Every structure is written in C-alpha cells, then in structure tokens.
Amino acid sequence: TKNKIKHCIEEIFSNNNKYDSAELNYRSVFRIYFSSLIKFLQCLIKYIVTGFFIAIFLYLFIISHNSVQKFVMRNCQNLIYPTMRTLRIWTLPILRNYEFLSDWHEEECLVRNPFYYELPLDCWPCENIRTLVDLSGFTNYSHDYVLNEQPFIVRDSLQENVSFQDLQKLYYKYDKLLDRGTAKFRCSEKDFCLPNDVFTKKPPAINTFHVMWKINRVAAARVIRKIFPRPYFIPNNSEVALERYLYLSGSEAPQFFLPLTDFANVWVAQGQGYRLIVLDPSEPCISNCSAVSVLLRPRDVLYYNWQFWRPRSRPANLCEEMSITFVGSFY
C-alpha cells in the first residue's frame, strides 16, 4: 500500500509538470504570434506611408510638367472608365447592405473645412435695395434682371395655386419615387414625421405645425416639377440644381431660415398661404446693405442671390390656411 500511495503522489506531480509545460508552450506560442503580428503591422504601415509619399511626389511631378502630364493622360485615358466601373461593381454589395451610403453621393459636402472663409465680396447688387421690384408681365426684362443678381418678385410665373390636396394626390400617384428621392424630412411633430404620415393622413390641426422636405433625386425632382415648374425668368442656358425644398407651415409656424442651396441664384414659389420673407444682408455685406422684406402671396415667386442675402421665413398671420413654399436654385 505504501508503494501504491507513493506511486500516486509521483504521478500527480508528474501531471502538474505536464500542465505547467503546456501552459508555458501556449504562452510562448502566443508571444510569437503577437510579435509576428506587430512586425506585420509595422511593415504594412511603413509600406502605406511610403506609397502615400511616392504618390504625392509623382502627382506633383506630373502636374508641374506639361509634357509629362499630357503623356500620362494620353496613356491612362482608356483605363479610367474600366477602373471606375470595376470599383463600382466591387462596392455594390456594400451599397445593398447599407443603402444610406448612396445618399452621400448627393451631398454637396461631407466634411466641413474649418479653415474655409468667404472671399471679399463686392456688394453693389444689394447696396441700394430698399424694396423689391415687381416684374410681373416683364418676361424679357426679368432675364436681364437675374444677371444683375438683384432680388425681385413676379406674380405671373406660377399659373395655379398648389394646395395640400394637390400634394396628397401627387404623393398618392408617385409615392415610391418621392420616398426614394427624399433626402431629409423633418417636422415639428415627432409622431407624425414621415411623408406617408403627412400626405396620406390628416395633418395635425395645430397652427404651429411645420415640415421641411428635401428632395435630391432626379425622378423625384421631375415629379415635383409637375406642380412647381421652372420659372420663366431663368435663362435657358442655366442649370437648375437637383436639390429642391418644400416647406409646409401652419399659420403660426415659427420663423425658420431658408437653406443655402447648391447654386446661389434662388427662387421661392408660394403655392398656398402667406409667409413674410425677410432678406437680411449676408455677413460680408452687413455694413453696405440693409434688410428688406416681402409678403409672399399664393402664386408669388421671389428671386434672390444668397451671396448677398440670408433669407428667413416668418408667419404672416393673415389667415388660418397652411403655407406651402417651394425653394429651388439655378446657376
């Protein structure tokens, strides 16, 4: 029995030594793999940094020599389209899983530049403006007036009022296109803040109700153009921005600022109701220009240039009817 006990004790100690050696082996293997990973990452970072600086050097070298630039462009021209097409095919699975990424394509700016500042601006278009000119009926003259970048109003561009029922009918017919083309949809009521809620249900019976609807897709813009057509004073050779805004405001909806659109030339069409538009001078023109205001009635169309003006929309308190305001821009 003593021999058996001694044998058991020796066996236990021998097993413990095996476990200790196995643990040491695991630790050594982990250290080897970890050190290899660190070395790999160091080499990868080194190659990336080196490649980055080489690419910058080649880019500066190419753009600084006209002959080299022409040679590179001549030989790389046929590779641009296949490369971009291949890259697009590779990214399709990502876009299918993350559809919100496709909206970034329509954004003007993804990351704001904190060092950007506006260049000195010649404010002569707003210096002597004390009231807005009504150019209704002067179709030819309004084309030239746009080139002066001075604000004016016309009352004969929008042929018919645009009511809330018109928007409901339009949404009922083109709901999928409009939903797909919606970039932003914000409203004052949290439980009532989807296009489907607003245009298929009865809106809240409160005078402070407010909706901002931003559209930035071609198909949706074509649909909205059926009720808010292009004003006649926009020159034929001008490009109209894809981005459109639609504001639904109760009679006592609070003041809001109109957006800085893609292009500086802006038209504001009043489809229904009344809103008081105040044009405040932009920051570079504060010392040279003074604020002006205009009451937008149904079918009125206002033109201004946001380089010189920063507009805000205020309630007019003239009726209980909902205000429908459309904002577009052109180059």
Backbone angles phi, psi at 79, to 5 degrees: -95, -10
pLDDT grade for 257, boundaries at 50, 70 and 90: very high
For 108-123, write each residue's pLDDT tens digit. 677 777 877 767 788 9
Q: Which residues contact 147 (CB under 8 A, 6 or more apart)?
A: none
Across the chain, the runs of DSSP E, i.e. the strands, are: 133-134, 152-154, 182-187, 210-215, 244-249, 256-257, 265-272, 275-281, 292-296, 301-305, 309-315, 323-330
> Is 15's pLDDT higher than 90?
no
In the predicted model, what is the mean pLDDT of the chain?
84
Q: Sort residue 149 into left (φ over 0), alpha (ψ -120 to 50) or beta.
A: left
pLDDT for 298: 94
> Is 14's pLDDT higher than 80?
no
Burial group, residue 224, by CB count within 10 angstroms (0-12, 13-18, 19+)? buried
> CA-CA distance, 202 to 191, in Å (whole number)?
13
| Whether 127 contacts 286, CB under 8 Å | no
Burial group, residue 110, by CB count within 10 angstroms (0-12, 13-18, 19+)? exposed
CA angle 282, 284, 286 (to 5 degrees): 65
pLDDT grade for 188, boundaries at 50, 70 and 90: confident
**133-330 adopts what CATH topology?**
Jelly Rolls (2.60.120)
pLDDT grade for 107, boundaries at 50, 70 and 90: low
> Is 60's pLDDT higher than 80?
yes
Burial group, residue 158, by CB count within 10 angstroms (0-12, 13-18, 19+)? buried
Max mean pLDDT among 92-106, 203-217, 219-233 falls in: 219-233
Beta carbons within 10 angstroms of residue 217's beta carbon: 20
66-70, 114-118, 325-329: the lowest-pLDDT one: 114-118
| Whether 268 contacts 233, CB under 8 Å | no
pLDDT grade for 105, boundaries at 50, 70 and 90: low
Extract the tokens encoding 247.
């504001």
| Whether 134 contacts 273, CB under 8 Å | no
DSSP state of 240: B
What is the biggest distance separating any 2 CA atoms in the chain, rounded to whole angstroms?
Answer: 122
* Domains of the chain, residue spans: 1-95, 133-330
pLDDT for 277: 96
> CA-CA distance, 152 to 133, in Å (whole number)?
5
Q: What is the pTM of this model?
A: 0.69
For 140-157, write each residue's pLDDT tens digit. 766 677 778 899 999 988
> CA-CA distance, 31 to 97, in Å (whole number)?
38
